[in-house]
């Protein structure tokens, strides 16, 4: 048995989809849209990420997290730099 999908509550499905496809390798061509507003995207490992629109996704809890495996520490630092740079570029 292995984990095959994760559902996340999000405020903006389009923005969240762009984030996960840009930085975490989910394929936008796999996007499936459902009548309730949920969008499911898949990565190269066959893992499905379900993004469900909600006005109040709740307060993130300190321990809430999920992880992605990269080949080397330098790859992790590079990915973190890209995400941090994006955050800096998109602040109001």
Please say if the pLDDT value at position 18 is more than 70.
yes
Token pair listed for 75: 């790859």
Q: What is the mean pLDDT of the chain?
A: 86
- Predicted confidence (pLDDT) per residue in 73-83, tens digit: 898 888 888 88
Is residue 49 within 8 Å of residue 5, measured between CB atoms?
Answer: yes
DSSP H/E element including 77: helix 73-89
Please say if the pLDDT value at position 38 is more than 60.
yes
Annotated domain spans of the chain: 5-54+66-89
Looking at domain 5-54+66-89, which of 3.40.1280.30, 3.40.47.10, 3.10.580.10, 3.30.720.120 is its CATH number? 3.30.720.120
Is residue 73 within 8 Å of residue 81, measured between CB atoms?
Answer: no
pTM of the model: 0.74
Please say if the pLDDT value at position 87 is more than 70.
no
The mean pLDDT value for 22-44 works out to 94
């Amino acid at each position: 048995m292995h984990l095959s999908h994760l559902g996340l509550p999000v405020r903006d499905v389009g923005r969240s989809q762009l984030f996960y496809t840009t930085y975490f390798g989910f394929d936008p061509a796999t996007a499936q849209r459902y009548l309730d507003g949920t969008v499911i995207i898949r990565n190269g490992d066959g893992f499905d990420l379900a993004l469900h629109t909600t006005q109040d996704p709740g307060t993130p809890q300190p321990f809430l997290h999920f992880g992605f495996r990269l080949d080397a520490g330098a790859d992790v630092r590079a990915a973190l730099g890209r995400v941090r740079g994006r955050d800096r570029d998109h602040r109001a």
